[in-house]
Amino acid sequence: MEITSSQAQFTSLLDNATLSRLERLRLNPRRRLTNRSRGEHHAGKGGTSTEFVDYRDYSPGDDVRYVDWNIFSRLERPFVKLYRHEEEMHVVLLVDASTSMQFDGKFDRARQLAAAFGLMGLMNVERVSAYSCNHQGQEPVFLSPCTGRISRKRLFDFLETIPGGGEFPIEQAVEAVLRRHRGRGIAVVLSDFLTFGDFDRAFNQLFSAGLEIFAVQILAPGELNPEVTGDLRFVDSENGHTLDVSSAGDLLGIYQEHRLALEEELGLACRQRNGRFLSISSRDPLDWVLFDLLRRKGWVR
């Protein structure tokens, strides 16, 4: 699905039909990483919602209002009723806007997915913040945490105006974001993860910050199945470095092995931190990704 510019559309990133379908979806994190502030996500511990969870022995100091008197009258022992606590979850959207993402619709697809994940968060009364990383050494462009349906326009405007280009490595971008971010929840990282650095450290930092990693690797068709042959000089789009390759056609087999190994490594790193990982092509249909793939993978429900 291409980004549309029709005046009737709520946003150019997603059409209205997709938006309406997305509003009915909720993010499905593996862990209940929530904030103290009240929200729509049930906290792991007891709370004050109307949803009963369990009983426990009364301890001195407990609020006597939660004692179940019916039980007490039958057993002559006080038991306290426990209710599920509903807390707010923070959804952090991190969009890799470096030059490497400017190929073959990767950046557009990243913004669309960010809009989709953000919308799901807003529609479920979560706090949603967004970050865009461009140039190394510069602070990320960010959207302050917002919540509620009313923030939709703000989120979409932010995503639509993210500048493209730059050489910010994704692992350093994560560190830069975490320096500013506060709150537990989900970190949706949208990048191609083609970096020379070590993303393990960045994932550890996300995990330590109480953010469940939702990593989406977006690759262009030319990166999934490159059609190269003969002697070539590859030029890195971010730093302009060159690499001479002879008989490139012979290396495609090894290239695929390395690409799949990177994918496997990313997936393993996410799983080890109770996160999720997904690799898609920038040419995969957006509806299929949002309403089929993510559902089947259990990312949304």
Site membership for another protein, residue 238 (CB under 8 A):
yes
Give min distance, CB of 260 to another protein, in A.
Answer: 11
Kindly state the smallest distance separating residue 2's Cβ from another protein, in Å.
20
Q: Which residues pair with 91 in a beta bridge?
A: 128, 186
Q: Considering only CA atoms, which of 94, 115, 114 is closest in space to residue 178?
A: 94
Among 120, 284, 121, 138, residue whose Cα is nearest residue 217: 284
Q: Is 188 exposed, middle or buried (0-12, 13-18, 19+ CB in 10 A)?
A: buried
One residue of 195, 217, 279, 281 binding another protein per CB under 8 A: 195
Is 258 near another protein (CB under 8 A)?
A: yes
Residue 49: exposure state from Cβ atoms within 10 A (0-12, 13-18, ≥19): middle
Q: Is 250 in the site for another protein (CB under 8 A)?
A: yes
Q: Any contact of residue 244 with another protein (CB under 8 A)?
A: yes
Angstrom CA distances, 298 to 88, 184, 275, 293, stand at: 20, 20, 12, 8
260 belongs to the binding site for another protein (CB under 8 A): no
Q: How far is the CB of 132 from another protein (least distance, A)?
A: 17
**Applying CB under 8 A, does 255 fall inside the site for another protein?**
yes
249 touches another protein (CB under 8 A): yes
Rounded CA-CA distance 231/247 in Å is: 5
Instruction: Tell me whether residue 208 or residue 247 sits nearer to another protein (CB atom).
Output: 247
- Is 8 or 254 the residue whose CB approaches another protein more closely? 254
Q: How far apart are CA 154 and CA 290, in angstroms?
A: 21
Chain residues binding another protein by CB under 8 A are 99-103, 106, 192, 194-196, 220, 222-223, 225-238, 241-256, 258-259, 262
